[in-house]
Amino acid sequence: MTSAPAWARHLPAGSDWARLDLLAGGSIPAVAARWGGAQPDRPAFGALSWGGLLERSEVAAGRLAGLGVRSGDRVLCSAAPSVDLVVAHLAALRMGAVVVPANTAYGRAELAHIIDDARPSLAIVDAPGRVAEVPTVGPDLAVGEARVPRLDALDAGDPALIGYTSGTTGRPKGALLTHGNLLAGARSVVVAWRWSSEDRLALALPLFHAHGLCVGVHGTLVAGASADVLARFDVDAVFDAVEAGATLVFGVPTMWSRLAASPRAGALRRARLCVSGSAPLDPALAARIRDMSGQDVLERYGMTETLMLASNPLEGERRPGTVGIALPGVTVRLAEDGEILVRGPAVFGGYRGLPTGPYFDADGFFRTGDVGSWDDDGYLRIVGRTKELIITGGFNVYPREVEEVLLAHPAVAEAAVVGLPSDEWGETVTAAVVARGTVDPAELVAWCRERLAPFKCPRTVRVVDALPRNAMGKVARDELRAAL
């Protein structure tokens, strides 16, 4: 008899793990359509009911079709969180378009590569001036009515979303996710966290990020639940949502740090589940939240290419400093060098336009680039990264991109960027530069702010006499990090 996989520990006692079908329904739009038919009057997003969500997404799909979008076309989405954006996203998926989320902090220059690579036929943006290469429309799709195209006729293998994530060179790569990937990724956490139609999520995360979109929005759709969509993270707005009945709160460590600092932190006692992800949660911060609110924040682990990989258990011990156990359907193993390898129905098939060889091993496991270790009870701990990625406030920053901007300044001869530990941000972007003559660090920070999204800009620039280098001439980042 086949033994139960590690992820079976996430299931309720007595469950038959072999009968779990993460792909039941075929796609998130199809699952959402069934929920809408079964509970049309129940709340979905904001004040919008499930019946209203289906009706509005049908109208929105017609409007997208009227703007020239066809099944298989890419639609760039880069706007502040709103119910309108959720409707437009669902409409695009229902008609078979491929959604391309992009950070709202990106300017035209940073969007240029994504647009050139994905070739979207339409961009949904808050500010039309951000995109000049393709037609644009606002999240409300305020255009004339058009005939509704065929909806929800999707296979699990059909492309659904391209999430752009930078490689070690800083050049964005498009991770192509199918409808099956999205459904499996959402259902795995719905099952593990006992997410039900009775739950309401306080959603204060950006919808261009996998955490807010693929966990928050998609999880709500798969669970038949509801969500308060907040236009931005605001401490009091989150507490207002909890006091009004939200049972779930998702956040990144930066958000949890600010919530813990509020005199209203005790209100979190009313929530059923608080989840942290996108960056490591400092165990000291987790303890502070527990002391103030009684909430034992559940830490989980995922990435754009794989969606959710592992989670501390809902029932059982949640261990600070670990990301728990592989989620339902996910197989995790460690390579000889400790790199975390993963395989499962939510894992993407490859980057758009790039060979799969460098990113997958011979058994089809994706190489995450993270280094991990197991404890004696099978909990996974992330101990480092094979890449020089910096995660600040839940966002990824690649040193080379920032270094190139600094090196473009006439007063900078050499530059190296590292992440330094931060209780609030997880890591802070910190730069060391060797100057030509004299230079004001504040001037270099301002230089970066004019050329990079705010989260990529160094919070601190330090002028040094020389950068530590190894025998090959490469910057010894560990030495530099210790010196800073």
Q: Tell me the β-bridge partners of 173.
A: 165
The residue type of 450 is: E
Q: What is the pLDDT of residue 169?
A: 42
444 to 112, 194, 461: CA distances (angstroms): 24, 48, 7
Q: What is the pLDDT of residue 470?
A: 67
Provide the b/e sequence for 295-304 (b: ≥16 CB within 10 Å).
bbbbbbbbbb
pTM of the model: 0.85
Tokens at 418, concatenated? 């590292």
Cα separation, 414 vs 444, in Å, equals: 13
Phi, psi (rounded to 5 degrees) for 394? 90, -5
Tell the burial category of 95 from Cβ atoms under 10 Å away from its Cβ (0-12, 13-18, 19+): buried
* Mean pLDDT computed over every residue of the chain: 92
Q: Tell me the β-bridge partners of 332.
A: 342
Q: What is the pLDDT of residue 472?
A: 44
pLDDT tens track for 219-252: 999 999 999 999 999 999 999 999 999 999 999 9
Cα separation, 99 vs 27, in Å, equals: 14
Q: How confident is the model at residue 170 (pLDDT cuts 50, 70, 90)?
A: low
Cα separation, 329 vs 276, in Å, equals: 21
DSSP codes of every residue in 274-291 = EEE-SSPPPHHHHHHHHH
Which domains are delineated in the chain?
20-384 (3.40.50.12780), 390-483 (3.30.300.30)
DSSP codes of every residue in 420-438 = EEETTTEEEEEEEEEESS-
HSE-CB at 289 with a 13 A cutoff on CA atoms is 29
Higher pLDDT, 282 or 419: 419
Contacts of 16 (CB under 8 A, 6+ apart): none
Cα separation, 416 vs 478, in Å, equals: 11
Cα separation, 420 vs 429, in Å, equals: 7
